[in-house]
Structure 1
Amino acid sequence: MRYLCMIFATDEQMSVLSPGEMRDFVNAHLDYDDQLRASGHLVESEGLEAARTAAVVRVRNGKLSVTDGPFVETNEQLGGFYLVEAASDEEAVRIAAGIPSSRVGSIEVRPALVWEHTP
């Protein structure tokens, strides 16, 4: 089953990292990517630009609306994600606990829905 592991952190949590610590932090993520890829658990992972670079898109009654910035007002921002394959919820949580960002912010683990066409 696939699980989305969403990485959340505040600007304050990330701002305490020195340039050297940030380099090590990024390298730790890349190393963990390699480990998950080698074990067959990694489907995809990406970091995201700051929430201030986001655009929110809505279509209501056929009319397009685009708003700059994140959808909700919150201190924590979605900073990246891992899409992983895991045999159980417990294994997905174990994988999420290994994500280096879990030591700075938080990781939300959510099972992916399986959609199938129905006649």
Structure 2
Amino acid sequence: MKYLILIHSNPKSRALWETLDDDQRYALGKGHMELTEALTESGELVVSEGLADLELAKRVSVRDGRTLTSDGPFAEVKEHLAGFYLVDVESYERAVEIAARTPDAATGAVEVRPVLDMSTWDL
């Protein structure tokens, strides 16, 4: 079953990031690389990416047939998605185990969500 492991950022985690020295930032990045390599070797990783700065985001909506966009950051949002791992594992427990291994779990919020399987839907 596929699970999305979402890595969240917020003002508190961003403030913590700002206090890290270069070696600590390197260690965090290396931790992600090592986890990605381990999941690739085990065959459990579908894809993993970090996301660019929130200020580069655009919110998209369609109203009356018109596509509308607005630039980020979005004032009403205090927490945002910083990156993700999409894994294909045997159980929810395994997905949680992987989420706990992300470097961000030690200081921030990491969420595990099952991917909706629409393959059995009669559409």
Same fold, TM exceeding 0.5? yes
CA distance in 1, matches of 2:106, 2:48: 18
- Per-residue deviation, residues 79-115 of structure 1 (Å, max 9, x unmatched): 1000001211111111110111111211110000011
Equivalent in 40, 43, 62 of residue 46 of structure 2: 43
TM-score, normalisation: structure 1:
0.90
State the superposition RMSD in angstroms.
1.6
Q: Report the CA distance shift for 1:71/1:85 in structure 2 as closer, same or farther (over 3 A).
A: farther
CA distance in 1, matches of 2:68, 2:30: 38
Compute the displacement of 1:40 (Å). Answer: 1.2
1:93 corresponds to 2:86: no
Equivalent in 15, 18, 40 of residue 15 of structure 1: 18
- 4+ residue runs of structure 1 moved beyond 2 angstroms? 70-77, 116-119
Task: Report the 3-state secondary structure (helix = DSSP H, G, I; strand = E; otherwise coil) of the residue aligned with 2:26.
Answer: helix
TM-score, normalisation: structure 2:
0.88
- Counterpart amino acid of residue 72 in structure 2: G
Map 1:1-119 → 2, pairs under 5 A:
1-10=1-10, 11-70=14-73, 73-116=76-119, 118-119=122-123
Compute the displacement of 1:72 (Å). Answer: 6.4
- Counterpart amino acid of residue 118 in structure 1: D
State the identity as a percent.
Answer: 39
- Per-residue deviation, residues 33-83 of structure 1 (Å, max 9, x unmatched): 001111111110000112111101111221110000145623332110000
Unaligned runs of 5+ in 2: none
CA distance in 2, matches of 1:7, 1:30: 15
Task: Report the 3-state secondary structure (helix = DSSP H, G, I; strand = E; otherwise coil) of the residue aligned with 2:29.
Answer: helix
Unaligned runs of 5+ in 1: none
